[in-house]
Amino acid sequence: MAAAPDRDAEDGRPDAFTVLLAPREIADGSEREPHRHGRPRRHRTWPWVLAAIVVVLLLAGGGLYGAYTVWPTQVKELFGWSDDYRGAGTGSVEVVVHQGDFGSTVADRLAAAGVTKTSTAFYDLLLKMKPQPTFVPGTYRLAHHMSAAAALADLQDPAHRVVSDVVVHEGDTVRTILAATATATGVPLAQLQAAAKDYRALGVPAAAPSLEGYLFPATYTFQPHTTAKAILTTMVKRMYTALDAAGVPVADREHVLTFAGLIQKEGNGDPGEDAKVARVFLNRIAKHMMLQSDATVSYGAGGTTVVPTSKQYADKNPYNTYLRYGLPAGPISNPGDVAIQAALHPAKGPWLYCVTVNLETGATVFSTTEAQHEKAAAQFEAWLAKHPEYAK
């Protein structure tokens, strides 16, 4: 049987077997070496490998996402990343919490100030707290790079609340109050003095000769950066609250404060004693007698001593009750509730004189005659001789 014709040979092409083993001819006539192993070349498989890798990654990613939803912190730490700092941080930074702030607002503010790493870390911590923590409005001194837990602890610690306490005592004058306020708050004394001079802007009546008498004695707490005007306005409003509570009409405020300021300086803070001091002054006014208050002499002359000098007694100013009848031109001190009540509700009695015979205890002698008063005055002079420091 004749062999089948070689079709490849007929058309000048090598047979399939030859194609696999013989060198290939390149377009330029050069030849490539045959396949190193002499086996047929297979189609590349890398697309399938890549697809398999993608599938594995997707499956792993799905598992990772599932783990993240359950253990987010642990998963983040596994890959070396956390949305929270560790520890109490370093340095110092002030953060303000305003009245009505939401937890999310506080969280954003902490992150923006560099206290916490993210707002999420702090807010997520709040959501886990039972009961939900509350924040007292104010300025807090925190640190940079704090953990959310450390920041929360400091925000709830009163020791980290940055405030200035100003104590105004009964009988203090504006001059001493401004000095104490400057020391406590850091507000320059010059700014406080300027605000006090413009007392009408603080709500004090234009008829008042000064701010004196309108700063209520109390302990005030001020946030950092509170202005001089805001500080003094707070004190004035507190005095108006006290006067309103005592039933003092607005039109009578100046008169009541003038009388109460005098009682505050001449009395000893005891309600009964101060009410008697008020009666002494009212009885003298009724008899057209000069009040002859040493406290008014000292105040009007710009002095600070208990016993005025002869020059101060002779000083012609509208506060000197040795030279003018009636009450002084305005308050000589800032009175508290007891003195205000005494001015409104004086005791009943015939006294025309009073003198404090012991400045340490506040013991006061009330007299109806000048002879009785001279005897009490001598008692005071004897006490003062033993305590000369009080005359300075």
pLDDT at 30 over 50: no
| CA distance linking residue 213 with residue 219, whole number of Å | 16
Domain ranges of the chain: 90-162, 164-245, 252-391
pLDDT at 180 over 90: yes
**Average pLDDT of 107-128?**
92
The number of residues in the chain equals 392
Domain 90-162 fold: Dna Ligase; domain 1 (3.30.1490)
CA-nearest of 199, 200, 241 to 218 is 241
Lowest mean pLDDT of 50-64, 131-145, 214-228, name the range.
50-64
Sign of the Cα pseudo-torsion (175, 176, 177, 179, in order): positive
Nearest-5° angle of CA 27, CA 32, CA 34?
135
| 181: confidence class by pLDDT, cuts 50, 70, 90 | very high
* DSSP labels, 222-259: E-TT--HHHHHHHHHHHHHHHHHHTT--GGGHHHHHHH
Residues 6+ apart with CB under 8 A from 339: 170, 260, 261, 263, 264, 267, 274
Q: Count the Cβ atoms, other than its own, within 10 Å of residue 340.
A: 25
Q: Is the pTM of this model over 0.85?
A: no
Lowest mean pLDDT of 42-51, 102-111, 169-178, 245-254, name the range.
42-51
Residue 298 and residue 312 in contact, taking contact as beta carbons nearer than 8 Å: yes
